[in-house]
């Protein structure tokens, strides 16, 4: 870890997570980002130099960040008499660092102890299952996942909606469909497809780094690696090839003598030895909402400042993260105020939704919007200064 201390010892602490191996070596630019962040936030910045490479694949980055966070709480949250005190910490990062910052903010926010109180993420990778892995399937034709998930609510549906509000929405949608005479418009192009060829952050680089950072496709589904899965189940599942043992257990159409069967098995084994092992493939499936934070965990989601570039292939991920966190905070606030988990009506839903929007800021900037690609983002300093000022306003001690 690297510690960049503020001028006063009682200053708040911000955990900074580097962008990871997705970007080329940008240590000099990163030093400028940290210096700007320290000045604008008046905070001590702790950079956790987590490991992420072909030798240190997931979950190593998660373990490193969690260990670094524990070290900060144990060693830096002490007064002039070396007595521990409670404090809210900040965390920030972009790309892989944004993914890890999101993971940390969602899991290290227990009420009644030192915790993450504010999170700022820029172009975070919150879902390692990228759109180019999945051929398009019409929503009505999506298959069910192989195993049932935590709820039966579709991922796009708000679990806090009452039956009355859902019926009103369904009636309105039916009325619109009846009035609609033209054929429906084509689905909008995803940001991944629209901006895949940009020179600053091409989609092929993101896919290539994923192959380096993960041992196997199953690891994409881990919630700590793809933190959007705290709020919804994956919209894809792995289809595994038929195992040899299963194929061997199937009864043959014709009964053969033992000698003939041994010869067939021998040639089959030679053929299999020359063939590359079949790999599982990703296929789309229905996605279902998950209730996060779970009841009884005493987790209270922090404040958020989520930014992205208008030409970033990851912009859809940033907007989905903001949507899911806002929905969760609105539902959690409703329960703390009234003991209920469902809205009475659309007006009440709108009121709590407005409160959640104030706690989860979402903003876009020109281009790809990376802090460390400073030649392509002339406004990087202003973006970091705004984020630092936001941290300074919301981080409090105690």
Say if CB 351 and CB 105 are below 8 A apart.
Answer: no
85 within 8 A of 397, measured Cβ to Cβ? yes
Label the pairing between strands 88-95 and 281-284.
Answer: unpaired
Torsion over CA of 206, 212, 217 and 219, rounded to 10 degrees? -100
Better-scored residue on pLDDT, 155 or 168: 155
Q: Which residue has the higher pLDDT, 343 or 308?
A: 308
Cross-strand pairs, 4: 45
Asked if 284 and 93 count as a contact pair (C-beta separation under 8 A), the reply is: no
What's the pLDDT at 104? 99
* Greatest Cα pair distance in the chain: 86
State the pLDDT confidence band at 41, using cuts at 50, 70 and 90: very high
Put the strands of the sheet holding 360-365 in their side by side order.
2-4, 44-47, 13-17, 88-95, 115-124, 303-309, 360-365
Structure confidence by residue, pLDDT tens digits, 300-339: 999 999 999 999 999 999 999 999 999 999 999 998 888 8
pLDDT above 60: residue 246: no
Q: How far is CA 391 from CA 176, 303, 327, 338, 388, in A?
A: 44, 10, 22, 30, 5
Which pLDDT score is estimated for 96? 98
Give the up-direction half-sphere exposure of residue 96: CA atoms within 13 A in the CB hemisphere: 27
Poorest-pLDDT segment among 4-18, 110-124, 199-213, 253-267: 253-267
Which range among 7-21, 95-109, 328-342 has the greatest average pLDDT? 95-109
Say what the pLDDT of residue 148 is: 81
d(CA 154, CA 76): 43
Asked if the model's pLDDT at residue 45 lies above 80, the reply is yes
- Tokens found for residue 160: 């806090």
The answer to whether the beta carbons of residues 282 and 134 sit under 8 Å apart is yes
Least reliable range by pLDDT among 10-19, 31-40, 246-255: 246-255
Query: In sequence order, which residues have a C-beta less than 8 Å from that of residue 176 and are 6 or more positions away?
Result: none
Q: What are the residue boundaries of the structural domains of the chain, listed by start?
A: 2-128+292-394, 139-238+280-284
* Region of poorest pLDDT, from 28-37, 47-56, 219-228, 247-256: 247-256
Length of the chain: 398
The better pLDDT of the pair 357, 341 is held by: 357
Cβ atoms of residues 61 and 98 within 8 Å: no
> Where would I find the H helices in the chain?
27-41, 60-75, 96-107, 163-179, 191-194, 203-213, 244-249, 258-274, 315-338, 346-359, 380-394
> What element of type H or E holds 91?
strand 88-95
Q: What CATH topology corresponds to 2-128+292-394?
A: Rossmann fold (3.40.50)
Return the higher-pLDDT residue of 148 and 55: 55
Least confidently predicted of 94-98, 158-162, 179-183? 179-183
Res 185: pLDDT: 57
Which CA distances in Å does 337 have to 45, 159, 272, 298, 353? 35, 17, 63, 15, 14
pTM as predicted: 0.86
Q: What is the pLDDT of residue 275?
A: 53
């Amino acid at each position: 870890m690297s510690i960049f201390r503020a001028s006063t010892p009682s200053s708040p602490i911000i955990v900074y997570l580097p962008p990871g191996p997705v970007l080329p070596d940008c240590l000099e630019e990163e030093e400028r980002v940290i210096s700007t962040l320290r000045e604008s936030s008046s905070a001590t910045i702790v950079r956790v130099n987590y490991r992420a490479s072909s030798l240190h694949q997931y979950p190593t980055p998660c373990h490193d960040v969690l260990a670094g966070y524990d070290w900060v709480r144990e060693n830096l949250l002490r007064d002039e008499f070396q007595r521990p005190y409670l404090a809210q910490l900040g965390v920030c990062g972009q790309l892989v660092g944004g993914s890890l910052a999101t993971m940390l903010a969602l899991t290290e926010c227990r009420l009644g102890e030192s915790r993450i109180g504010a999170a700022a993420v820029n172009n975070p990778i919150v879902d390692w299952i990228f759109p180019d892995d999945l051929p398009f399937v019409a929503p009505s034709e999506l298959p069910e996942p192989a195993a049932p998930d935590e709820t039966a609510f579709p991922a796009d549906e708000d679990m806090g909606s009452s039956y009355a509000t859902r019926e009103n929405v369904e009636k309105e949608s039916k009325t619109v469909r009846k009035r609609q005479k033209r054929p429906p418009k084509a689905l909008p192009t995803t940001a991944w497809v629209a901006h895949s060829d940009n020179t600053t952050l091409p989609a092929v680089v993101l896919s290539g780094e994923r192959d380096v950072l993960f041992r196997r496709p199953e690891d994409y589904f881990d919630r700590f690696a793809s933190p959007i899965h705290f709020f919804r189940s994956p919209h894809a599942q792995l289809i595994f090839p038929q195992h040899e043992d299963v194929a061997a257990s199937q009864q043959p159409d014709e009964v053969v003598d033992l000698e003939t069967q041994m010869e067939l098995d021998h040639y089959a084994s030679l053929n299999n030895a020359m063939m590359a092992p079949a790999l599982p493939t990703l296929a789309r499936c229905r996605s279902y909402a998950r209730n996060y934070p779970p009841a009884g965990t005493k987790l209270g989601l922090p404040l958020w400042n989520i930014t992205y570039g208008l030409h970033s292939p990851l912009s859809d991920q940033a907007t989905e993260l903001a949507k899911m966190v806002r929905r969760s905070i609105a539902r959690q606030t409703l329960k703390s105020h009234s003991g209920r988990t469902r809205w009475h009506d659309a007006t009440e839903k709108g009121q709590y939704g407005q409160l959640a929007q104030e706690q989860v800021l979402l903003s876009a900037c020109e281009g790809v919007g990376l802090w460390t690609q400073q030649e392509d983002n002339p406004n990087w300093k202003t973006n970091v200064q705004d984020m630092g000022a936001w941290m300074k306003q919301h981080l409090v001690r105690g």
